[in-house]
Structure 1
Amino acid sequence: MWSTLPTEMRLAVVENLDSGDVKNLSQVDRDTYTACLPSAFKNVKLGNLRALQSFVDNVPRSYCRYIHLLSLCTESNGRNTDQRSVTEIVISILAASPCLEELVLNTGGSLHHSIISCFEHLSRLERLSIHNSGPEELKPLSERLVVAIAASVPNLKRLSLDRVSRSLIHAPELRGVPPYVPLVSGDDNIPDHPLLGADLYLPSLLRLHTLRQLIIRDTHLGDPRWATVPVNCKLQVVDLGSCFHENENFNSACIQRIMGAVGRTVDEFSLTTAVSDAVFAKPSVTPLQRLRKLHISPFFPVDSVVDTMSNLAGSPIESLSMQCYEDDVVDVCAALEDFLTIRVERGAGFYEKLARIDVAITANDASSPLDPDEDAECKKAEQRLQELCRDLCLASRFSKTLPSSAASRLARSTGFVVTRLPTLGDGRVRSMTL
């Protein structure tokens, strides 16, 4: 019965199976094995340089055409590696993956600039994440490299950057002065880009007309050109984090400058610092004229919640979500109650479109749980806020997530996405878990 089904129907069946079932089904016969390959290689995660090398050595290049989501990490577990050779390994995978739609690249510092050209051919790639997993002081990730890569993706919609370092070429004023922000030197050999020319600084990302979502975290955003570069994109989602090396006031000023430049099209925004500029509170002049969803990160100063919300009153915000740690639940709930009290006092026109408030709580690590009294106090604070929301006809939801360490352990325990299929015929490795 199975063997008589058309190939299209067998592929449709396999696509609806989980990885374990795909592995079992692949053992039926050679034709079934072949039918399982697109599902087995649709999502590939390679967690270190050794896994990358093993994948290149053992998996036929033709199988890369099945990859839609690819997560790569170039970390070598402390061993010294040649930048050029690591780059060549990554290029060999990307060059063989024409159907790639999402790429997550974790790199210990910068790769060689020869990698830039291979992105020109990834026409289906829409979501790109580049994160520096190495020590920034020793292995910085050049802003010139990541901007050139992003500008080379033909249809880039979503860009996420983490721990990108400023280039000395573009930020000479930061050299040798407090707070001693790590800078990249020696990246002047990155060639000019056909679109951006030599202007490979972070603000040039706003010139990418296809870009709709921009996430930048743990990166210095002090380049004044954020306010002057031509904005060719229509950003809908913006998430800007603070720079560890700068103070709260500096980070706030940087984020407000970027908000002012891109805000007219933004529907969703994530805040990590307070907003003090009162211009955002005036509907007639605020740059955030379409902002409907506001997210506040767990690093946001709780005592600034009320003032910041007041300073964003010019936007038609419908949904407010806050993330916090378990230790801060009582203070966060109290701040939101104060904000809602002000909303009632000010009456019509002040957050009149607000429809829901959600709070996402990150639980403490198992080694330091809340004691019974603290836990009871948190539950009371949650209940008070939910009751106030009900009284004001606002939807609300409290959710709890695992701490990052526990989430990482859980992810490791579930294994990688790539499924190991049994070998057939000549015994060559057809797929692997790395």
Structure 2
Amino acid sequence: MTRHLLLGQTLLFTGNPFAGDWQDSVTIDTNGAVLVAQGKIIDVGERDALRAAHPDAEVTDYGTDLICPGFVDAHAHYPQTAIIASWGKRLIDWLNTYTFPEEMRLADPEYAEEIADRYFDLVTAAGTTTTCSYCTSAPTSVDAYFRAAQARGMRVYGGKTCMDRNAPDGLRDTAKRAYDETKTLCDRWHGHDRLGYVITPRFSPTSTIEQLDALGSLWGERSDCLMQTHISEQVEEVAWAKDLFPEARDYLDTYEAFGLIGSRAVYGHAIHLEPREIDRIKEVGAALVHCPTSNTFIGSGLFDMSLARRGLVVGLATDTGGGSSFSMLRTMAAAYEIGQLRGTAMHPSQLLWLATQGSAQALHAGDQIGALKAGHEADICVLDLASTSAIAQRHAHADGPWEAIFPTIMMGDDRAVRDVWIGGVRQAA
């Protein structure tokens, strides 16, 4: 059994830095080490002690680079890879102009495979080791996504996007097809290797009552799965949902009425929530996912990060391709900027938490990924904290480890990613 010993600075969480004083929840060990074997983290500690205890381990010395958990992107649309950064539309027009035409192309298995491979190449180069993605309504897109992840040994989540109204003919299914195809795909992929199936109504405006009811019933049968959807992304969308569901108390009720609420629900965006919705989401333990680059790019609004301080489960995501970057570093920077605009400035430890353990907890995988902890899966990102001349000159004048890390969060990109380990396997550069 080959053991790998990684030496560097290590990011260590002992709690949630949003739950109180961040200093009580996270530390940087400037003389740290991580021992990896058989796909798992075996031990985390001080480098000299671990070197002495494991003299036969293969050593990779990263010097002053930061060894942290691999990034976890909790809300993405991998089929939109090729149309990322498309110009000039609000949400509904953006879907009709760019998203829906591109998603129809993934009914072709070869094209779906091409896009899935390209997507995973891009995100892993940016330090992301786990994604939760919407596929398209075509089962071929789901198969391509999971096969590409499986070949890389990745822990990923995803599912067929279900829509039976307010979408092009080439993407619409029916309530029965949504149920039957989702069930078949779930049986095919869920729990195999490191793959998790997610029941996925796109959002209530693109599903009839019959389809939402069918998917709620299926989730009741497969309660071990996650359920993902969108909520309250733009004010126009909220008004649209209220028009389509006049009996609903609010947007959340368009899901709740059909059983699409629970602790394993993952709601993307959640910018314009009403007080009842916030209270209900907290009560059931569902997760919200903040998508900052998307929210600014499409002009959706500013997420309220005080919800994390109020005890709601919050993850972070790129929202490819509404989001304008594949990088969780760029996403953290955008989250910081939005926090500033909302009067809730975030410490670097909180940003890193959102991109790792926070997102892992949103996906109910916090006991497997998202932390450097013995027994966790060995998904690791190593960051060069002086990757460009602009970052290096600021890093040289840093006062302490957090001040040294923050410039990479704000200005870093894939050049800052020194190495990525997935399931204990070092990825090729």
Give the TM-score taking structure 2 as reference length. 0.34
Give the TM-score taking structure 1 as reference length. 0.34
Say which structure is richer in strand.
2
